[in-house]
Every structure is written in C-alpha cells, then in structure tokens.
C-alpha cells in the first residue's frame, strides 16, 4: 500500500479543487438544518436530542452520497486518465481503496460541519451526548455503505449522470427494505419471518439501532460487509471494463 497516500491525497484534495465540493457541502448543511427544524420539528418536539436530524439523514444521504461518489470512476474513464492511473505502479486494491476512503473522508467533513446542530441542542437543554455520538458513528458507517454503492455505480458508466441515477436507485432500494412504512405495507402480504430478513438487509434498520445509542457489533459488521460488497463489485467491474 505504498502508493495509498499520494492517491488518497490527490482524490481528497480533488474535491476542493473545484467549486462543486463547496456547493455540495452548503446544500447538505442547508438541507440538514431544514430537515431538523422544519420537517423534524426540533423545537415543537420539546426534546433536546438530535433524533429529528438522524431520522432524515438516510433520505438526505440518498441524494447527497451518490452525488459525491459519481465522479470517482466515471470521470476517470471519460477523460482517459484511468489509462494513466493503471499504467502507474498502482495495484487495483490501492486505487479502489484510496478513492473510496477519499470520498468517505469528504463525507466525514460534511458530517462534522453539522456540529452547530449539536451545539444548539446542548445550549437548549441537556441531551444524552453518548447517544448523539453513537448517532454520528452510525451516520458515518451508513455514509460508507452508500458510498461503496456509488463507487460501484460510478465504475459502470463513463457518464456521471447515469452513475448518479443508478446509485440513487440502488441506495433507494436498500433504504426502502428497512423503512417502517414499507415493511408495514409488506407485512400484510408476506409472512413475518420474510419481512424480518428483508428488513435486516436494509440500511435504516441497522442505522436506527446504532443511533438509539446501541453500538451493536452486528450493525457495525452489517455496514462493513455492505462496504466490502460494494467495493468488491467495483473492483470486478473495473477489471472487466476499464479499457472499454
């Protein structure tokens, strides 16, 4: 992994070389504030907690994370720089991991910048900061799972828009699987054990259990497995079609 550092740095700083990164972050922050206060009703709930924020996060990520990840491989293939990248002494694992982790670090920065929300609830009352911390850990893990899907869809096409749409669709399915409204609907048709299995495959089920303050190893393993599957598919796609 000797080449990881320069690859990671190029990719991470690459976000900030164009105004796109700043636009992304500003929109994400505005949307997260909007969700927390207006849709989530932080003031009306009369509770010092970040639940309104974390409840809407899976839906915010649905659009935001594929937008962050769409560029990673599609742009590389469109501009032909992938030919430079893979004729440098770089292994496939180094390349895939450095891009993924650079995107993940960017998402971590965006999440970190929501800290004024945390300051606000601490100013207004006495929230359980342990739960909030667990919520952020869960958010970061969930962001990683979304991003690995986006890395995969980004390697499928030279076109960033197609990559983005595919990423949103796949992530949407994964969110839907664990979403209460959807599982309730399905429960009237399918047996309960099937619903449990399906819900277990979705993002929200695991995210909610972490953000309630339960850092259960099963949920952490779930997200790490999801990331691994996404990146494995990403690697397979690249091996098969990097030159086409």
Partner 1 sequence: MISVSGLVRDFGGFRAVKGISFEVPKGQILGFLGPNGAGKSTTMKMLTCFIEPTSGTATVGGKDIIKDSIAVRKQIGYLPESAPSYGEMTVVEFLSFVAEVRGMFGASALKAAEAMRETCDLGAVWDQPIETLSKGYRQRVGFAQALIHDPPVLILDEPTDGLDPNQKHEVRKLIKSMANNKTIILSTHILEEVDAICERAVIIANGSIVADATPGALRERSRFHNAVTMKVAPSDLEKAQAMLSGIGGIGNVEVLGGDRSTIRVFPKKGESIALKISELSKQRNLGIEELQVEQGRLDEVFRSVTKSEVKASKD
Rounded to a whole number of angstroms, the distance between the first and last alpha carbons of the chain is: 27
Nearer to partner 1, 14 or 127 (CB): 14
Site string for partner 1, 83-112 (x = CB under 8 A): xx-xxxxxx---------------------
Question: To the nearest whole angstrom, how small is the minimum distance from the Cβ of residue 14 to partner 1?
Answer: 6
Among 6, 41, 116, 125, binds partner 1 (CB under 8 A): 6
- Residues with Cβ within 8 Å of 52's Cβ and at least 6 positions away in sequence, in order, are 35, 36, 37, 39, 40, 41, 42, 45
Which window, 14-22, 181-189, 212-220, 228-236, contacts partner 1 (CB under 8 A)?
14-22
Binders of partner 1: how many residues, by CB under 8 A?
23
Residue 17 in the binding site for partner 1 (CB under 8 A): yes
Nearer to partner 1, 15 or 136 (CB): 15
DSSP, res 123: H
Q: Residue 232's closest CA among 93, 38, 91?
A: 93
- Residues with Cβ within 8 Å of 233's Cβ and at least 6 positions away in sequence, in order, are 152
Which window, 1-9, 107-115, 154-162, 198-206, contacts partner 1 (CB under 8 A)?
1-9
Q: Residue 151's closest CA among 45, 222, 51, 228?
A: 228
By the 8 A CB rule, do 147 and 100 touch? yes
Interface residue list for partner 1 (CB under 8 A): 2-3, 5-7, 10, 14, 17-18, 79-81, 83-84, 86-91, 242-244
């Amino acid at each position: 992994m000797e080449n990881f550092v320069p690859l990671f740095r190029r990719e991470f700083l690459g976000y900030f070389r164009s105004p796109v990164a700043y636009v992304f972050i500003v929109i994400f922050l505005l949307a997260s504030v909007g969700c927390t206060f207006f849709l989530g009703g932080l003031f009306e709930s009369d509770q010092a907690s970040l639940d309104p924020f974390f409840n809407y996060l899976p839906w915010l990520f649905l659009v935001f994370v594929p937008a962050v990840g769409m560029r990673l491989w599609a742009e590389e293939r469109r501009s032909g720089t992938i030919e430079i990248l893979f004729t440098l002494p770089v292994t496939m694992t180094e390349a895939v991991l450095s891009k993924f982790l650079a995107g993940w670090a960017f998402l971590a920065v965006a999440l970190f910048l929501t800290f004024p929300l945390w300051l606000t609830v601490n100013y207004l009352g006495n929230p359980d900061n342990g739960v909030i911390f667990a919520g952020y850990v869960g958010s970061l893990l969930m962001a990683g799972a979304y991003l690995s899907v986006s890395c995969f869809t980004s390697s499928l096409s030279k076109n960033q828009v197609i990559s983005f749409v595919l990423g949103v669709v796949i992530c949407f399915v994964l969110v839907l699987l664990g979403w209460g409204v959807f599982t309730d609907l399905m429960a009237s048709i399918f047996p309960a054990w099937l619903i449990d299995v399906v819900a277990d495959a979705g993002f929200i089920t695991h995210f909610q259990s972490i953000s309630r303050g339960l850092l259960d190893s099963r949920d952490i393993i779930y997200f790490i497995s999801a990331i691994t599957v996404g990146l494995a598919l990403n690697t397979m796609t690249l091996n098969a079609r990097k030159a086409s």
